[in-house]
């Protein structure tokens, strides 16, 4: 007799009528697993919340269901090409899949079952960005050792334009919030941030320093007026979208010293103490309250400066060091003024 690994379950479970799937309640989520492999690689809701896709990458197969039409189902099988990643389009009526080894990116229509192929996508799970209005998509591709941007219309999925970019190894792309520009990050081995217009013109090339690990993350502010660039030198640089000049620089310090206007909060977990002496509870509730992990409440303590944050020096003999500004958070205009 063979057994799978143990899966978490906090509520009821039910097999589908054809015994191909099993639905399991986990807290406030519903997990649907394939009974042949019991492994689901990816789940994503469509933006309109009417459809949900489930990725079984090892099979390889993508399935989608409709919440408004329970009898409707969709199955996508790439065959020998395999599936490395899947995502919804902004209109929630198309699914984009990337094959193994980045051989092609395929756009599958749920309306007329048509499909469109884009050859040689650069990345599996990234390298695709949609405009805010959902009308156009920019896709990173690579051929003949050169990086390109393919612009597609999300209405007909026709290629509207293709242009080469001046990168050594393009990492990702992002449309600006006003859809007027595309920011491109280069390999961490070379500090380079490129700003392109949709027609392929290079608007600006930003390079803070040379001879060192470069850009780790790039993020637009919600208003689109600023571009934050996180680097491996522990610096966060903010560029102005009008002049593309450095507007502000912030250092990620390991120690905060006085005088300092910043407040440092520490999250503290405390066991939740409940007085149940005057309550009458049934056995089912009492049994559920003893779940592993117990109940906790969270409070925050204001720390006194100076304070040193814990850090770990990355090993020099391993790639992708865990250092630098790895996530550029939201930038509010009021904070920069």
The reply to whether 53 and 140 lie within a common domain is yes
Which residue from 218, 221, 219, 226 is spatially nearest to 242, judged by alpha carbons?
A: 226
The pLDDT assigned to 102 comes to 92
> Which of 164, 182, 200 is a domain's end point?
164
The per-residue pLDDT for range 116-165, each reduced to its tens digit, is: 999 999 999 999 999 999 999 999 999 999 999 999 999 999 999 999 99
Which residues neighbour 282 within 8 Å (Cβ) at sequence distance 6 or greater?
A: none
Q: Is 74 exposed, middle or buried (0-12, 13-18, 19+ CB in 10 A)?
A: middle
Q: Which domain holds residue 83?
A: 38-164
The pLDDT assigned to 39 comes to 66
Specify if 135 maps to a domain. yes
The DSSP line for 24-76 is: EEETTEEEEEETTT----EEEE-TTSSEEEEEETTTTEEEEEESS-TT-EEEE
The pLDDT assigned to 142 comes to 96
Q: Indicate the number of domains in the chain.
A: 3
* Residue-wise burial string across 8-29, b where 16 or more C-beta atoms lie within 10 A, e elsewhere: eeeeeeeeeeeeebbebeeeee
User: Residues in the chain with pLDDT < 70?
Assistant: 1-5, 34-41, 273-296, 321, 327-337
Structure tokens at 213: 């690990």
The pLDDT assigned to 83 comes to 93
The reply to whether 248 and 264 lie within a common domain is no
We report the CATH number of the domain holding residue 211 as 2.40.10.480
The per-residue pLDDT for range 64-86, each reduced to its tens digit, is: 999 889 899 999 998 888 999 99
Contact in structure between 162 and 150 (CB atoms under 8 Å): yes
Specify if 68 maps to a domain. yes
DSSP-derived 3-state class of residue 166: coil
The pLDDT assigned to 303 comes to 86
**Model pTM?**
0.73
The reply to whether 50 and 158 lie within a common domain is yes
The reply to whether 48 and 159 lie within a common domain is yes
Specify if 43 maps to a domain. yes
């Amino acid at each position: 007799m063979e057994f799978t690994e143990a899966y978490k379950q906090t509520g009821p479970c039910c097999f589908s009528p054809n015994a191909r799937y099993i639905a399991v309640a986990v807290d406030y989520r519903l997990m649907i697993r394939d009974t042949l492999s019991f492994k689901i690689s990816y789940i994503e809701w469509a933006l309109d919340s009417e459809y949900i896709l489930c990725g079984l990458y090892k099979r390889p197969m993508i399935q989608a269901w409709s919440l408004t039409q329970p009898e409707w189902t969709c199955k996508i099988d790439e065959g020998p090409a395999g599936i490395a990643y899947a995502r919804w389009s902004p209109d929630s009526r198309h699914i984009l899949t990337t094959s193994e080894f980045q051989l092609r990116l395929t756009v599958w229509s749920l309306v007329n079952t048509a499909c469109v192929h884009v050859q040689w996508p650069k990345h599996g799970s990234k390298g695709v960005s949609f405009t805010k209005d959902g009308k156009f998509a920019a896709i990173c591709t690579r051929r003949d050792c050169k990086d390109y941007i393919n612009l597609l219309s999300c209405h007909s999925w026709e290629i509207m334009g293709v242009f080469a970019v001046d990168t050594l190894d393009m990492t990702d792309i992002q449309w600006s919030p006003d859809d007027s520009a595309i920011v491109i990050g280069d390999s961490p081995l070379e500090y380079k941030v490129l700003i392109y217009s949709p027609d392929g013109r290079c608007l600006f090339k930003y390079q803070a320093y040379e001879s060192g690990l470069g850009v780790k993350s790039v993020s637009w502010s919600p208003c689109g007026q600023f571009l934050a660039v996180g680097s491996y030198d522990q610096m966060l640089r903010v560029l102005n979208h009008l002049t593309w000049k450095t507007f502000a620089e912030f250092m990620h310090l390991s120690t905060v010293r006085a005088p300092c206007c910043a407040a440092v909060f520490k999250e503290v977990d405390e066991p939740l103490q409940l007085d149940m002496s005057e309550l009458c509870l049934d056995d089912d509730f009492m049994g559920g309250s003893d779940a592993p992990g117990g109940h906790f409440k969270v409070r925050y303590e204001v720390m006194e400066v100076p304070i040193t944050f814990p850090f770990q020096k990355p090993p020099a003999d391993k790639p992708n060091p865990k250092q630098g500004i790895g996530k550029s958070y939201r930038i509010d205009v009021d904070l920069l003024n």
